Amino acid sequence: MADLAREIGFSKAYIYRFFESKQAIGEAICSSCLAKIVAEARASIDVSGSSAEHFRRLFRTITTLSVELFFQDRKLYDIAAHSAAEGWGSAMSYRQTLREMLEEIVRRGRESGEFERKTPLDETCRAIFYAMSPFVDPLQLERNLDLLPDGQAELTSLILRSLAP
């Protein structure tokens, strides 16, 4: 709190006029970071291309931006990791939004015949989300930084092979 107050030039008491608690401030900071990732992820799939390319872009964007936002600033990472571990609203709705984007890509890929259709859509999307977690979840990403970028590219290819018709 002292760091934050110094950084933005307000007193701690003044900051607390806008937020109920330290957690509320953490939530606001976290939401703002996650919103940036979501916006970039959205932009990365709102361009023409195959569903495989959309998936590649989505996954790479999430990882690249998470690394940029969370690991250039240790404090931001601590907030994000705490948020993920405690299941804060901001972390939950972030995951939900990413899942919806993933489902959109898989559904379109199925409609165009690019992806298989035998597995139930929700099962496929859940399983892909589990598989992606080493490079999406900030807690895991921190321990997997040395696997980038190759590890993520290899995992992307595995997921795309699993989607083949």
Residues in contact with a second copy by the rule CB under 8 A: 85, 116, 119, 123-124, 126-128, 130-131, 133-135, 139-140, 143-144, 147, 151, 154-155, 157-159, 161-164
Structure tokens at 62: 């999430």
Which residue, 10 or 82, is less far from a second copy as judged by CB? Answer: 82
Which of residues 15 and 147 has its CB atom nearest to a second copy in the complex? 147
Residue type, 121: L
d(CA 1, CA 12): 7
Query: At closest approach, how far in Å is the CB of 109 from a second copy?
Result: 14
Q: Which is nearer to a second copy, 55 or 135 (by Cβ)?
A: 135
149 cis-preceded (ω within 30 degrees of 0): yes
Alpha-carbon span 89 to 34, nearest angstrom: 12
